[in-house]
Structure 1
Amino acid sequence: MPKIAVLTSGGDSQGMNSAIRAVVRTGLANGFEMLGVRRGFKGLMDNDFIELGSKEVSDILYRGGTFLQSARSEAFKTPEGQDQAIKHLQSRAIDYVVVIGGDGSYRGAQALQNKGIKTFGLPGTIDNDIPLTDYTIGFDTTLNVVTDAIGNLRDTMSSHERVSVIEAMGRSCGDIALQAGIASGVDAIIIPEVEADLDKIAKDLKAGFERGKSHSIVIVAEGAGNAVDVAKVLKEKCGLDTRPTVLGHIQRGGTPSAFDRVFTSRLGHHVIELIKQEITGVALGIENNQITYHSFNEIFAAGRNINEQLYHIFNDLI
């Protein structure tokens, strides 16, 4: 009976459990033996495997995080670490490995593929920063978390006539800040892909209060600056009571949205279909609502750009 191992690596994201469940149950339905690897690539090197049946993945569809747990491993980046992991995979006669994670996880999956292990990647990261997929696992849920947080902050900012500078995750990709900002009707969005004009933002904030606004909200992606520094500069430039809020790891938590549950179910199911077609060494995604796949090399070469149309839409709406 062919064997498939599943692992989650890097930062956790809502929907990882749903993806594990989909891979495992579809695999079982098609006659595969399923195993889980605890703590990502570190678990591969430590030989930390568990058997996964239908029962083991019950009641995880709607749970955030990853029950297999995740860890970053510098040791796995070395040839020695990779050889150690491969030794354990071969000793257990594992035929395929499904890696759920972001860019670093994909590079780990590619390293295994290059050494003869048949691998797949599923885009597990809230940042939405994986090329050649419209969405990544957890991004939609995070948008809802951030949008709700902005709504809560708006209530208290309005009560005290303040400006709120909210810091969202996104080191190299501003999608969370951009899309949550549009969904929340914020006054300014600061993202790493577009150079911010703090003088103009401060001028616009001040003009808004002079027109009778009772509050203003600025959202900044962490890769473009931190909320404390941005709030300090804006306060100096516009003279308004400006308060920073860092949302932090609350953005990674919460029950996966319906979109993320359906999305990951489709991804997990399609992995098994690709195995049956003898297609390996690819990462899956969604483009124009169709599940697609590309080689790791194609993804690394593609690069990820902000949706410029959405940024223009925001500028026309403020």
Structure 2
Amino acid sequence: MKRIGVLTSGGDSPGMNAAIRAVVRAATAEGVSVLGFEDGFRGLLESRAVALDRSSVSDVLDRGGTFLGSGRSSDFRHGDGVRRALEICRDRQVEGLVVIGGDGSLRGAHELDSAGLPSVGIPATIDNDLTGTDYCIGFDTALNTIIFDVSKIRDTASAMDRIFVIEVMGRDSGMLALHAGLACGADALVIPEVPPALPELVCRISEAGRQKKMHFIVLVAEGAASAEEVGRRLHAETEQEVRVSVLGYIQRGGAPSALDRILASRLGARAVELLLRGARDLMAGVVGELVMDVGLEEATATRHEIDESVYRLVMTLSS
């Protein structure tokens, strides 16, 4: 290969810039030029691209977001969109593509590969819900952001003797809420993988009160329930003061953590290695300390399941 493309797609996550940097520098070290498509698949379909070299990525390692921009394109869900993307890559002499993003983005990479363009995916989503990798780029940074914010909320919760219901991201996965709950000592979790049981939650709050603990922290994954609704129902059942805090997009921003920078660098270099040796339709991931590869279709077919023992541990340690 003489030229490859790279794009970031879907929701941004801290560490995407570090992954782009690794792709560019690993490729140029092998004499391969790199085109960066702007604003994800939308930019690809509009043939908006910039040439990237070592100097282009010299100051992006510690920056959040993605300097290439990100976006989604409904046109890409149809055969015409895929054909258009292939034509543009041929015109631009792009022989392979690295797609950095979550499940929808990697499905797009799989479609392109199936249509004839060698494509490799890099998992980047704070939801950490892709199969075949222990961690996705951005998860660790988002987790640390949540822990930092929950610690502040706990200060006021304990000062005012209140129940706080805190909503974190996770449309279809409770990974963020689960790990944040363990790390910050949440008193209860509401996640998609475990059906919410209000009576049990009310019992836990009542038991905490009997033990003279007057404040209570509930973490809610956005896909499991509305934090506002959980808060209203808890107030009605317990007659205690309940406050709701939705952390929102702050979880997706900020400088990437050291772990995310390291992960992004390793996976970016691996993606280039895969393309240059003729491998395709793969996602570069990490299992334990090892960089491993899994088929794109397999990576996006099912959700990364939570470890139920971690959920039980959160409940045990909070009781």
Measured against the shorter chain, the TM-score band is over 0.9
Residue pairs, 1:15-164, within 5 angstroms:
15-164=15-164
| 1:179 and 2:179 matched | yes
Counterpart contact for 1:132–1:302, Cα < 8 Å = no
Q: Any idea what the Cα deviations from partners look like across 1:14-47, whole Å, max 9, x if unmatched?
A: 0000000001011111110011000101111100
The aligned residue for residue 248 of structure 1 is 248
Q: Any idea what the Cα deviations from partners look like across 1:202-249, whole Å, max 9, x if unmatched?
A: 121122123222411000101110111001111111111011111111
Q: Secondary structure at the match of 2:305?
A: coil
Structure 2's unaligned 5+ residue stretches are none
Q: Distance in 1 between matches of 2:160 and 2:316?
A: 28
Q: Distance in 2 between matches of 1:137 and 1:285?
A: 10
Counterpart contact for 1:168–1:176, Cα < 8 Å = yes
1:123 counterpart letter in structure 2: P
Counterpart contact for 1:206–1:240, Cα < 8 Å = no
Counterpart contact for 1:166–1:247, Cα < 8 Å = yes
1:102 counterpart letter in structure 2: G
* Offset of residue 306 of structure 1: 1.2
Counterpart contact for 1:97–1:120, Cα < 8 Å = yes
The aligned residue for residue 11 of structure 2 is 11
Q: Any idea what the Cα deviations from partners look like across 1:55-80, whole Å, max 9, x if unmatched?
A: 11111101011000001110111111
What is the aligned-residue identity percentage?
44
Q: Distance in 2 between matches of 1:2 and 1:265?
A: 21
2:220 counterpart letter in structure 1: V
2:43 counterpart letter in structure 1: G
Counterpart contact for 2:120–2:275, Cα < 8 Å = no
Q: Distance in 2 between matches of 1:241 and 1:95?
A: 60
1:54 counterpart letter in structure 2: R
* Offset of residue 288 of structure 1: 1.4
The aligned residue for residue 292 of structure 2 is 292
TM-score after normalising by structure 2: 0.97
* Offset of residue 270 of structure 1: 1.1
Q: Secondary structure at the match of 2:171?
A: coil
The aligned residue for residue 317 of structure 2 is 317
Q: Distance in 2 between matches of 1:205 and 1:298?
A: 41
Q: Distance in 1 between matches of 2:302 and 2:166?
A: 30
Counterpart contact for 1:154–1:217, Cα < 8 Å = yes
2:143 counterpart letter in structure 1: L
Q: Any idea what the Cα deviations from partners look like across 1:157-202, whole Å, max 9, x if unmatched?
A: 1111100000000011100000001101011011000012211211
Q: Distance in 2 between matches of 1:216 and 1:260?
A: 31
TM-score after normalising by structure 1: 0.97
Q: Distance in 1 between matches of 2:311 and 2:157?
A: 25
Residue pairs, 1:211-226, within 5 angstroms:
211-226=211-226
* Cα-Cα RMSD: 1.1
Counterpart contact for 1:174–1:192, Cα < 8 Å = yes
The aligned residue for residue 279 of structure 1 is 279
The aligned residue for residue 307 of structure 2 is 307
Q: Secondary structure at the match of 1:224?
A: coil
Counterpart contact for 1:203–1:238, Cα < 8 Å = no
The runs of at least 4 aligned residues of structure 1 exceeding 4 Å deviation read none
* Offset of residue 302 of structure 1: 4.6
Q: Secondary structure at the match of 1:88?
A: helix
Q: Distance in 1 between matches of 2:190 and 2:201?
A: 10
Q: Secondary structure at the match of 2:14?
A: coil
Q: Distance in 2 between matches of 1:15 and 1:21?
A: 10
Q: Distance in 2 between matches of 1:302 and 1:167?
A: 24
Q: Any idea what the Cα deviations from partners look like across 1:256-309, whole Å, max 9, x if unmatched?
A: 000000011100111122223211111111111211111122223454211112
Count residues in correspondence. 318
Q: Distance in 2 between matches of 1:113 and 1:55?
A: 29
Q: Distance in 2 between matches of 1:265 and 1:2?
A: 21
Counterpart contact for 2:110–2:296, Cα < 8 Å = yes
Q: Distance in 1 between matches of 2:272 and 2:72?
A: 26
Higher mean Cα deviation, 308-317 or 40-49? 308-317
Q: Distance in 2 between matches of 1:298 and 1:255?
A: 30
Structure 1's unaligned 5+ residue stretches are none
Q: Secondary structure at the match of 2:36?
A: strand
Counterpart contact for 1:36–1:51, Cα < 8 Å = yes
